[in-house]
Structure 1
Amino acid sequence: MSKAGKDRNKAKRIVEQQKARERRRKVTLWTSVAVVFLLVAAGLVGWAVSSNQQSADAGKLVVPGVAVDHGTAFPVGSGPVVVDLYEDFMCPVCRAFESQSSAALRELAAKNEITLRYHPVAILDRASQGTQYSSRSAGAAAAAAQGGKFVEYHDVLYANQPAEDTPGLTDDKLIELGRTVGLTDATFTDAVKKKTYVPWAGKATDTFSARGYSGTPTVVVAGKQVTGPNNGMPSTADVTKAIEAAKG
């Protein structure tokens, strides 16, 4: 074979080798792209499943086992006359009612003349700059009830009541207040942090509205709402008079 023929054959082999290398490079590239795509897709699926699970957990309705009246209230005493008290922990009028009438009602409950049923509701979430303080504090109170400290926690929430149109207390502060009344276990802390009973607060508020009530405090004695002048907050005398009438 002539020298020219040998050169042509050599050049042909070099071109074929280059083409083979290019084919291998493309196969490697597309294989890598496919692997990356699959990994990303798997990651997105995992993230979506995790995110959906977290959302489902956050929105799950958990009713406190110690709650009565269709899971909406926490009772004090076991007397024959039922007094239902609907309150929002951000409501300043509720705090005023507690300052005025709490001692008298608790005394009647201690004597088992009444069953005092506390219904935490959340109608003032709009007044906490988006933090849903009414719902969060009601949920924390439910967790306290599960820990056997509802009354104590109820009272410390009102003692530290934030003003309307503020963010309210943080979850950490709600947990700290729990510690001051003996709620030191992880169960209470986790319930507040995970907002375990916040959906319950929404359900309790829906029940409140379905019963035809709209403002807090709402005081109901033996199934009849008690109000003061001009449908305002009832006095202690108004409530005790209604209790005496219910006794017959």
Structure 2
Amino acid sequence: MAVAKKSTNWFVVGVSTAVVIVLVAIGAAVWWANSLATGPGTAPQSALVDKDTGAITFGTGDDVVDTYVDFMCPICGDFEDQYGEQLQTAAADNAITLNIHPISILDRYSQNTKYSTRAASAMYCVADKAPDAALGYFNSLFTNQPEENSVGLSDDELASLANEAGAGAAADCIADGTYKTFVASQTTKHDIQGTPTVEVNGKRLDLQAGEITKLEDVLAKAGTAGSGADGDSSDK
């Protein structure tokens, strides 16, 4: 007896194919969402900013100083009080290259407003939209530094300081938080455990072990030597 040939159930095939397509689409969507969450984010389009390292660069000297700062960190404020003017003067004289890295490790100290991330993003906004005002804005963020465990400055206040520094063009960028993801990616990329973190000619200094003297040697060479620091660093 001849065996009847089974007919293909095209409805089942169609449903199965549709399910596969939906699953592939969902997988792609999840991958895309994860890549957005963990990606480097939008990089500032400024000649001042190295898009790979996140450094906002001043000066062209042979000796290179990198500082990683969190705008909520009080010890970073102390560091800037003690060394900021000397570093900036040396950079202006092209006696050093000063790379400033705004990073974010202290969001937990701003009552859920993520001030560290917002302030660092605002710093990149100014470097992008008004590079001539970047250093003035950097100094203003420390002059007006909020206390830890406060809500920090609002976005409107950050924009107001930018306007005072001559960077009114950065207001929309600050309001949008354009560089928040970029800040997070740079913080992770450089493995920042405490602030300030300081590197001299590519070598990370152990400030608690007194290696701040290596920075002071560079400043002395540049003719802007200061009084030195107490060596107690790093909010964590």
Residue 121 (structure 2) pairs with residue 139 (structure 1):
yes
Residue matched to 2:229 = none
Once the two structures are superposed, what CA deviation does each residue of 1:12-63 show, in whole Å capped at 9, x if it has no partner? xxxxxxxxxxxxxxxxxxxxxxxxxxxxxxxxxxxxxxxxxxxx7xx98210
Q: Following TM superposition, by how much is the alpha carbon of 1:70 offset from its aligned partner in structure 2, in angstroms?
A: 1.1
Shift of 1:112: 1.1
SS, match of residue 115 in structure 1 = strand
Q: Which residue of 2 aligns with 1:241?
A: 217
Structure 2 gap ranges (5+): 1-35, 222-236
| TM-score of the two chains, using structure 1 as the length reference | 0.68
* CA RMSD across the alignment: 2.6
Q: Give the match for residue 201 of structure 1.
A: 183
Separation of aligned partners in 2, 1:125 and 1:105? 27
> Paired residues, what number?
184
d(CA) in 2 for partners of 1:220, 1:69: 19
Matches within 5 A, 1:62-81: 62-66=42-46, 67-68=49-50, 70-81=52-63
- The structure number with the bigger radius of gyration is 1
Residue aligned with 1:172, SS:
helix
**By how many angstroms is 1:224 displaced?**
1.1
Give runs of aligned pairs for residues 56-135 of structure 1, distance below 5 A.
61-66=41-46, 67-68=49-50, 70-135=52-117
TM-score (norm 2): 0.71
Q: Which amino acid aligns with 1:119?
A: H
How far apart, CA to CA, are the structure 1 residues paired with 2:198 and 2:187? 15
Q: CA deviation at 1:128?
A: 0.5
Report the alpha carbon displacement of residue 69 of structure 1 after superposing the two structures with TM: 6.3
Distance in 2 between residues matched to 1:220 and 1:243, nearest whole Å: 13
Q: Percent identity?
A: 37
**Deviations 1:164-195 (CA, angstroms, capped at 9, x unpaired):** 0111000010011111111122xx11111111
Q: Is the 8 A contact 1:63 1:71 kept in 2?
A: no
Q: Deviations over 1:72-116 (max 9, x none)?
A: 110010111111000000000000000000121112112212100
Matched position secondary structure for 1:100: helix
Of 200, 205, 216, the residue aligned with 1:221 is 200
